[in-house]
Amino acid sequence: MRKAILFDMDGTLLNTLEDLYYSTNAALAAYGFPKRTIEEVRQFVGNGLRNLMRQAVPDGEENSHFEDCMKTFKEHYGVHLDDHTGPYPGILKMLQILAEKGYVMGVVSNKPDFAVKDLAKRYFGEHILVAIGESEKVRRKPAPDTVEQAARALGVSMEDCIYVGDSEVDLETAKNCRIPCVSVSWGFRERELLEKLGAKEIADTTEELVKILTREE
């Protein structure tokens, strides 16, 4: 039985899309750039803030205002990261069930570290023991660094971990860590795409996810 479960945050535990959408467009509007649709932002997220803005800003990092846009996004999101964000249906009950079964749980995300820690504490408190986001200290996913750091903080070996996420980045992260991955279809990537990406296990509901995660018991 694997003892630890490491979750991605955006698109897995929390529906953060609207707040990311509004902050992206606030940053773009500040420099007169065209607005992005919420579906465009959905496809841009999952691999860190820089990657999001690289796709959102015209000409990406070649744009002379790119770094300014990044700064404006961080400032806006720091204030508005929780305006429309909340757990997906069934998430809190699922975490309670898993905690009662003795699993230790953490979050690893490509979201800025300050936001990951803030949101994890705000929504998941006692159930999520470790929350690690993007920072200069560690390479972001799909590098294994944040997962390895979370495992150490939880006091478990990598062999004791299973990973849960909603995107191609999560699948690649788990592969690089050599640990199992369960994908979820309620997030930023649809089931059909996850299947094409080679996801071996996909949960469509939190109830299904609990059954998969506890199957070895």
Confidence bin at 21 (pLDDT 50/70/90): very high
Lowest mean pLDDT among 67-71, 134-138, 189-193: 134-138
Q: Strands 86-87, 14-15: parallel, antiparallel or unpaired by DSSP?
A: antiparallel
Mean per-residue pLDDT over the chain, rounded: 95
Q: How far apart are CA 28 and CA 70, in angstroms?
A: 9
Is 16 exposed, middle or buried, given 0-12, 13-18 or 19+ CB atoms closer than 10 A?
A: buried
- State whether 198 and 128 are in the same domain: yes
The rounded percent of the chain whose pLDDT value lies above 90 is 90
Nearest residue to 82 via CA among 141, 40, 24, 22: 22
Q: How far apart are CA 70 and CA 65, in angstroms?
A: 9
- State whether 98 and 116 are in the same domain: yes
Specify the pLDDT at position 1.
61
Lowest mean pLDDT among 35-49, 82-96, 164-178: 35-49
**Is the pLDDT confidence value at 117 over 90?**
yes
- State whether 46 and 117 are in the same domain: no
pTM tops 0.85? yes
Helix (H) or strand (E) holding 46: none
Query: Of the candidates 29, 53, 80, which is a domain's last residue?
Result: 80
- 23, 182 in Cβ contact below 8 A? no
Rg (CA), the chain: 17
Give the CATH number of the domain where residue 188 resides: 3.40.50.1000
Q: Across residues 201-211, what is the average pLDDT?
A: 98
- State whether 73 and 176 are in the same domain: no
- State whether 108 and 178 are in the same domain: yes
3-state secondary structure of 22: helix
Specify the pLDDT at position 48.
85
- State whether 105 and 189 are in the same domain: yes
- State whether 32 and 107 are in the same domain: no
Query: Of the candidates 80, 106, 129, which is a domain's last residue?
Result: 80
- State whether 60 and 152 are in the same domain: no
Number of domains in the chain: 2
Query: Of the candidates 80, 99, 117, which is a domain's last residue?
Result: 80
**Is the pLDDT confidence value at 10 over 90?**
yes
Domain region containing 120: 4-15+85-213
- State whether 91 and 152 are in the same domain: yes
Specify the pLDDT at position 47.
83
- State whether 93 and 110 are in the same domain: yes
- State whether 108 and 187 are in the same domain: yes
- State whether 89 and 74 are in the same domain: no
Give the CATH number of the domain where residue 44 resides: 1.10.150
